Amino acid sequence: MSSHVTTAPARARRDRTHFLYLAVVGAVAAGIVVGLVAPSFAVELKPLGEAFVALIKMMIQPVIFCTIVLGVGSVRSAARVGKVGGLALLYFLVMSTVALGIGLVVGNLLHPGSGLHITDATASAGAEQAATGHASTTDFLLGIVPDSMLSALTSGDVLQTLLIALLVGFAIQAMGAPGEPVLNAVGYIQRLVFRVLAMIMWVAPVGAFGAIAGVVGETGVDALKSLAVLMLGFYITCALFVFVVLGLVLKATTGVNILSLLRYLGREFLLILSTSSSESALPRLIAKMEHAGVDKPTVGVVVPTGYSFNLDGTAIYLTMASLFIASAMGDPLSIGQQISLLLFMMVASKGAAGVTGAGMATLAGGLSSHRPELVDGVGLIVGIDRFMSECRALTNFAGNAVATVVIGTWTGGIDRARLDRVLAGDEPFDEATMVDEVPADEVPVVQPALQERARLQTSSR
């Protein structure tokens, strides 16, 4: 009798969130209509989308910090975290290389950019992007170290949060039993953070409406016509990468069908599509991967690191955009020049998280450092970058979701039976809390070994 009483509210909450995401779909459609009918008014709605993305981004660092501290602090051996991180970086390097190669092949087959011409306005737009995107590898590495321990939680830099969370997690691990109260406190903070995130999601329709209306109002349909070949080629290339390359990797290593994983993450893809930022779904990806049976150390290391080092969509974009610009400027790249430039781009892309506009800034900065004569051509794709940004973000997100499951399988950090049940729909994700509920008198997040040790200490008193 009591079990029925406790499950009914959860079902009601899930039903309400179902209608929430239907509202997001309606808001996207309404935004497109407003953008086409009243473009000037639609542009003024853009801050609504920016505000919603800002609300989500303010939750990213607390989510990452709590997840990593709980994951690292509750495992027995530091080597476990090191193994996960090492395999993750190796996997990211391989998949980024494959993404660059696919973009290279498709770009050479389509020859996008032929027949276009550079105007003064286009050249100035390219120079502006280069100014914002230029940064050296040294600056990137030094930027990982925060000004202070606490500033890492407010800087907006995911890698800074990752560094501090790892240090705190290892410190708690080294403390042993005295560190358990800290770990428990972080567990309750994590549940609070996810509750706040669930509340923020209720304004998603407003954010989606403003974001889509703004981009359609700014761009219209004129910019899409002359650049349709590049856009369609990019979309097709990303689709092939996700469904063929990632699908084969996932099936071969885990036996999981890529379609079932993407269906499980359907709401996150909708959120990314409406905001054009994969970061808007990062906290939810962490929560959903844990719910699906991937352990906290794997999720805590792979997901945040992947958002800086596993940008498959951005890699494809950099490849095809570089070839497009070179062709449009009448200076096509030779095979040797393509390989040299793209190897440079692979390094330059690290740290360019899935934020709207980051891909173009990285492209311009990379060209400025390696082939400055091509920078003026970046302005050619300013008009359609937002539409390509959505596809980049979706591909990056899919790549990181697959990476989490694959690496969790390799390191033994996944409950395969639970994963199967979740993907089959037998254990729905709790949209209201975003964490698995436990009785209030139990330790909420520590692993069984620590729970047993705490129980023994309590019983001996």
Domain boundaries, the chain: 77-154+223-460
Residue with the two structure tokens 């992007």: 129
How far the first Cα of the chain sits from its last, in Å, is 35
- Based on the number of CB atoms within 10 Å of its own CB, is 182 exposed (0-12), middle (13-18) or buried (19 or more)? middle
- The answer to which of 37-41, 122-126, 157-161, 324-328 has the lowest mean pLDDT is 122-126
DSSP β-bridge partners for residue 294 = 414
- The answer to which of 4-18, 110-124, 410-424 has the lowest mean pLDDT is 4-18
**C-beta separation of 224 from 44 below 8 A:** no
Element (H, E) at 76: none
Nearest to residue 313, comparing CAs of 254, 208, 391, 202? 391
**CATH class for domain 77-154+223-460?**
mainly alpha
**C-beta separation of 281 from 63 below 8 A:** no
Q: Residue 7: which pLDDT band, with cuts at 50, 70 and 90?
A: very low
Instruction: Report pLDDT for 271.
Output: 86
Flag whether pLDDT at 203 surpasses 80.
yes
Flag whether pLDDT at 352 surpasses 60.
no
Flag whether pLDDT at 15 surpasses 50.
no
What's the number of CA atoms in the CB half-sphere (13 Å) around residue 51? Answer: 13
Flag whether pLDDT at 160 surpasses 80.
yes
Percentage of the chain modeled with pLDDT above 90 = 14
Instruction: Report pLDDT for 264.
Output: 94
Which DSSP string do the residues of 56-119 spell out, in sequence order? HHHHHHHHHHHHHHHHHHTSS-HHHHHHHHHHHHHHHHHHHHHHHHHHHHHHHHH-TTTT----
pLDDT tens for residues 405-454? 999 999 888 999 999 999 998 888 887 776 665 443 444 444 444 454 44
More confidently predicted of 389 and 139? 389
Instruction: Report pLDDT for 442.
Output: 41
Q: Which two tokens stand for residue 236?
A: 């097709």
Residue with the two structure tokens 């290892």: 170
Flag whether pLDDT at 318 surpasses 70.
yes
Q: Give me the mean pLDDT over the 259-275 stretch.
A: 89
Q: Which two tokens stand for residue 385?
A: 């970058």
DSSP β-bridge partners for residue 414 = 294
Flag whether pLDDT at 299 surpasses 70.
yes
User: Cα angle vertex 59, ends 391, 390, to 5°?
Assistant: 10
Instruction: Report pLDDT for 211.
Output: 81
Q: Give me the mean pLDDT over the 8-20 stretch.
A: 52
**C-beta separation of 281 from 271 below 8 A:** yes
Helices (H), 227-334: 228-240, 247-254, 258-264, 266-275, 282-291, 296-309, 312-328
Residue with the two structure tokens 């309400």: 16
Q: Where are the beta strands (DSSP E) in 143-202?
A: none
Instruction: Report pLDDT for 111.
Output: 66
**Cα 217 to chain center, whole Å?**
26
Q: Residue 353: which pLDDT band, with cuts at 50, 70 and 90?
A: very low
Q: How far is CA 195 from CA 32, 52, 199, 270, 287, in A?
A: 31, 16, 6, 20, 12
Query: What count of other Cβ atoms lies within 10 Å of the Cβ of residue 120?
Result: 9
Q: How far is CA 333 from CA 233, 328, 368, in A?
A: 18, 11, 16
Flag whether pLDDT at 2 surpasses 60.
no
Q: Whole-angstrom Cα distance, residue 14 to residue 416? A: 24
DSSP β-bridge partners for residue 219 = none
**C-beta separation of 436 from 293 below 8 A:** no
On average, the pLDDT of the chain sits at 76
Q: Whole-angstrom Cα distance, residue 196 to residue 395? A: 27
Q: Give me the mean pLDDT over the 320-337 stretch.
A: 77
Instruction: Report pLDDT for 348.
Output: 58
Residue with the two structure tokens 């996932």: 250
Per the rule left: phi > 0, alpha: psi between -120 and 50, beta: everything else, 204 is alpha
Q: How far is CA 121 from CA 177, 190, 386, 407, in A?
A: 64, 48, 19, 46
Q: Whole-angstrom Cα distance, residue 254 to residue 396? A: 20
Element (H, E) at 430: none
Percentage of the chain modeled with pLDDT above 70 = 73
Instruction: Report pLDDT for 249.
Output: 95
Q: What's the whole-model pTM score?
A: 0.72
Q: Give me the mean pLDDT over the 310-331 stretch.
A: 80
**C-beta separation of 386 from 219 below 8 A:** yes
Q: Residue 166: which pLDDT band, with cuts at 50, 70 and 90?
A: confident
